[in-house]
Structure 1
Amino acid sequence: MTDTAYFRIKLIVFALVSASFTNVYITQPVLPVLQDEFAVDLVMVSFSISGVILGIALSNLPFGMLIDRYDIQPIVLVGGTMVAAAGLVCALTDNFWVLIAARFVQGLFIPALTTCLAAYLAKTIPLASLSVVMGSYVSATVLGGLGGRLLGGWIHPPLHWRYAFITASVFILIATFMAVKWLPKPAKDLSVNKTPVSFVSLLKRKELFLIFLCALGSFSVFSSVFNYLPFRLEGAPFNFSTESITLVFLVYITGIFMGPTAGRLSNRFGSGNTLLLGSGILAVSLLVILMQSVVAIVIGLIGVCMGFFMVHAAAVGALNKKLTSGHGRANALYVLFYYIGGGLGITAAGFAYKQGGWNVMILLSITMLIIPVLTGLSERKQN
């Protein structure tokens, strides 16, 4: 692969993954606004996020099988078109349940653009460069998550949150057509796996199963914190506006740099040590954001981003380094566990928040960190 082709792949994948994740979190900074506009409670309005996550969780395995058998281009074309179309429905509807249904459809087709691309990279990029490239892939998820939050939070005040969906739909259509036109096919004929690896056999491998659990545990923590952050900041003693809440989400920028950095740390010190370091940073940062101080919360959220994306990038890199086949299925399982963790985390944290407030929710999140810690200890033994 030439340097030009290598750069083009990274650029296209970065654009497509960023566009995909823009759609996932687009309603997060305006959840209180949606709650008032549709007259629903806190847990119900969170379905505008968890509905997407549920869709992603359900469709990951089928798309993981498809990418092990077929070329990336038609999968991306269908996925990108459906995500954009559902986004336009979100922009137009006045019915809360139609909004949730359209968000669910977006979730069903996002794996065509994320899980399938991760498997494509694992089959296309040389092994020596894989950790760093997967780190860049994670950085694209960060930029997309931040972009969606900024669209939802900053476009709403002068116009309306609905325009954020229109912008995101246009963005993902452009990225989709770029990918279909310019993503090269792998040099070898990998479109059909003659001896496909089953999902069950992947789950039976202890070292892979722990990585899948690591995705579940770490994302349950991260998604809980950022999903209920707007409610925390909207209330006393902070009383933030929607624009101010959206500004706080700029801490997400930290993750853009942590993806490639975590890849390099894993190459140098091992994935186990990187997982343990990221988990430690996460734990300390969660304690910091318990403080009733804007400065402490911002510092703590920066640490949460650093720790989470360090864990996430190290886990993705470790997973793909262990594979010789079945990349699509393995990455599908990883993302399945990842979003199951997000969905369960948001739901459980919502009830914890309603019953005990922010502090109880954060303490619940801290207990979940035992999972990435155990994964890191296991990885250290294998290195």
Structure 2
Amino acid sequence: MVWKREETDTSKNLNKKGGMTLALQQPYTPKDRSFWQITLSLTLASFFIFASMYAVQPLFPVYVEEFNISISAASLSLSLTITGLIVGLIVLGFFSDRHGRTSFIKASVAGATIPFLIIPWTDSFFLLICLRFIQGVALAGLPAAALAYLHEEIDSGSVHVATALYISSNALGGMVGRVMAGTMTDFFSWHTYFYMLGGLGTVMFLLMLRLLPASRFFESSELSFRHDLHGFSYHLRNPRLLLIFGLGIIFQTSFTGVWTYLPFHLQEAPFFLSLATISLFYFAYGLGVVGSPLAGWLAGHFPLSSVRLTGIFVLCTGIFLMLFDAVWIISIGLALLCLGFFTAHSLTASSIGDLVTHHKGSASSLYLVSYYIGVVTGSSMLGPLYNSQGWPGLMIFLALLPLIYIIIVRSKVKIGN
């Protein structure tokens, strides 16, 4: 394959050059310039990818008014992107194991950029969501290849530093993407915001070309696609793993459901807040950067299941606070929501490795898929409930959903440690 040959030639050339030292053929450490090139490249790419993914979430009320559509229809601009992402994660993950890493990472940034330059030219919401679906498939290239690339190219004693920066930029990109969406749309238009993201993506792509080193230690998988599919089917027959995947769906459904319908709630009485003001609430995502490492530290001192259960209670408490009409209480509720969610999510994801003995990569991929299924459910499937029961009914449902699931699960089987 061309991609494979392109990425492995660098390694061969290094071996042929007698002047090269053996140290240059070792995995990168923080002492190496390439370590920081990889870390900076993937961190910036991750920031852009997640800003692109969630850029439309605060814009649902704008789409409802501009295109004269329902809330559920407007939410398709996010849920179809996530659907494309799910497809891309499965398909591109397989190809990345066979054809290399950097090509998919660069293509992901380029593929995510192009729709932002096309969508503002259309007045068709149908075309908008079709382009967002294609964009979602492209977005998957980065998460499908990035972590594997980091573990292949960076020294095992240093990879956690690069990985932590990469993952933290996920939450940061999602937060800034949402905040800027409301602010730019309020002062200019959502079209202007999309052009800005298109320009940012172009800059990111050029940086990728300049900074991202070619793979040196990539080894193409000789296993068949059938073997990969067998890994998926093996995990889907494991009842304990299915419960973990269910947790991913439930957590994300409640979390996304709050953020999807929050702009509609805050634009109505008694708040009447502008879109720019509402976007400031997304700064609560900053606690996601704190929640994940805090959860890891707590799990090192207390049982994982107890810390995760605490995270779930914090999440649900935050949702219950959404029932109050005071802005400051809602702000506290959103902070608790984010802290509890990222705590519970990170510990649930990390517990997968303890439940499987092989095909660990496919198990993690399936959890990621279930996580994003929750995004689709929380954004597009809750419209009828919101229309019939309003904000209070929706919040009560979303707060009780994780609690009921945990009660049922714990009565059946103990998951995690």
Pairwise same-fold verdict (TM > 0.5): yes
Paired residues of 1:274 and 1:376 also in contact (CA < 8 A): no
Deviation at 1:33, TM superposition (A): 1.7
State the SS of the aligned residue for 1:269.
Answer: coil
Render the CA deviation track for 1:226-268: whole Å, top value 9, x for unaligned.
0110001001111111111111222122212223333333344
Higher radius of gyration, 1 or 2: 2
Residue 199 of structure 1 corresponds to: 232
Residue 226 of structure 1 corresponds to: 259
Question: Residue 336 of structure 1 aligns to which amino acid in structure 2?
Answer: V
Paired residues of 2:284 and 2:334 also in contact (CA < 8 A): yes
Alignment partners' CA distance in 2, 1:343 and 1:56: 11
Paired residues of 1:156 and 1:163 also in contact (CA < 8 A): yes
Deviation at 1:186, TM superposition (A): 6.4
Alignment partners' CA distance in 2, 1:271 and 1:193: 36
Question: Residue 30 of structure 2 aligns to which amino acid in structure 1?
Answer: D
> Taking structure 2 as the reference length, what is the TM-score of the superposition?
0.82
Match of 1:85 among 105, 114, 120: 114
Match of 1:161 among 190, 209, 219: 190
Asked if 1:365 corresponds to 2:398, the answer is: yes
Residue 313 of structure 2 corresponds to: 280
Residue 22 of structure 2 corresponds to: none
The structure-2 alpha-carbon separation of the partners of 1:150 and 1:240, relative to structure 1 and needing over 3 Å to count, comes to: same
Counterparts of residues 213-252 of structure 1 (less than 5 Å)? 213-252=246-285
Question: Residue 3 of structure 1 aligns to which amino acid in structure 2?
Answer: P
Residue 20 of structure 1 corresponds to: 49
Match of 1:295 among 316, 328, 331: 328
Q: Which moved more, 1:185-194 or 1:332-341?
A: 185-194
Alignment partners' CA distance in 1, 2:416 and 2:120: 49
Match of 1:64 among 80, 86, 93: 93
Question: Residue 204 of structure 2 aligns to which amino acid in structure 1?
Answer: A
Deviation at 1:177, TM superposition (A): 4.2
Structure number with greater CO (CA < 8 Å, separation at least 6) is: 1
Alignment partners' CA distance in 2, 1:37 and 1:327: 45
Counterparts of residues 161-200 of structure 1 (less than 5 Å)? 161-179=190-208, 181-184=210-213, 188-192=217-221, 194=223, 196-197=227-228, 198-200=231-233
The structure-2 alpha-carbon separation of the partners of 1:343 and 1:188, relative to structure 1 and needing over 3 Å to count, comes to: same
Residue 3 of structure 1 corresponds to: 30
Alignment partners' CA distance in 1, 2:151 and 2:412: 23
The structure-2 alpha-carbon separation of the partners of 1:117 and 1:316, relative to structure 1 and needing over 3 Å to count, comes to: farther
State the SS of the aligned residue for 2:55.
Answer: coil
Residue 6 of structure 2 corresponds to: none
Question: Residue 65 of structure 1 aligns to which amino acid in structure 2?
Answer: F
Deviation at 1:121, TM superposition (A): 4.0
- Structure 1 residue ranges without an equivalent (≥5): none
Q: Which moved more, 1:16-25 or 1:132-141?
A: 132-141
Paired residues of 2:89 and 2:143 also in contact (CA < 8 A): no
The structure-2 alpha-carbon separation of the partners of 1:179 and 1:303, relative to structure 1 and needing over 3 Å to count, comes to: same
Deviation at 1:357, TM superposition (A): 0.5
Question: Residue 279 of structure 2 aligns to which amino acid in structure 1?
Answer: T
* RMSD, matched Cα: 3.0
The structure-2 alpha-carbon separation of the partners of 1:123 and 1:273, relative to structure 1 and needing over 3 Å to count, comes to: farther
Question: Residue 16 of structure 1 aligns to which amino acid in structure 2?
Answer: A
Alignment partners' CA distance in 1, 2:318 and 2:261: 16
State the SS of the aligned residue for 1:368.
Answer: helix
Alignment partners' CA distance in 1, 2:337 and 2:290: 14
Paired residues of 1:30 and 1:152 also in contact (CA < 8 A): yes
Alignment partners' CA distance in 2, 1:376 and 1:264: 24
Q: Which moved more, 1:265-274 or 1:138-147?
A: 265-274
Deviation at 1:127, TM superposition (A): 6.8
Alignment partners' CA distance in 2, 1:6 and 1:315: 29
Residue 69 of structure 2 corresponds to: 40
Render the CA deviation track for 1:118-176: whole Å, top value 9, x for unaligned.
44445566777777765544422211111211221111122211121122223233334
Say how many residue pairs are matched.
383
State the SS of the aligned residue for 1:236.
Answer: coil
Q: Which moved more, 1:167-176 or 1:350-359?
A: 167-176
Alignment partners' CA distance in 1, 2:244 and 2:386: 28
State the SS of the aligned residue for 2:365.
Answer: helix
Alignment partners' CA distance in 1, 2:80 and 2:29: 41
Paired residues of 1:123 and 1:327 also in contact (CA < 8 A): no
Paired residues of 1:155 and 1:161 also in contact (CA < 8 A): yes
Deviation at 1:336, TM superposition (A): 1.5
Alignment partners' CA distance in 2, 1:148 and 1:192: 36
Alignment partners' CA distance in 1, 2:387 and 2:105: 40
Deviation at 1:275, TM superposition (A): 1.9
Paired residues of 2:355 and 2:416 also in contact (CA < 8 A): no
Asked if 1:338 corresponds to 2:371, the answer is: yes
Deviation at 1:52, TM superposition (A): 1.0
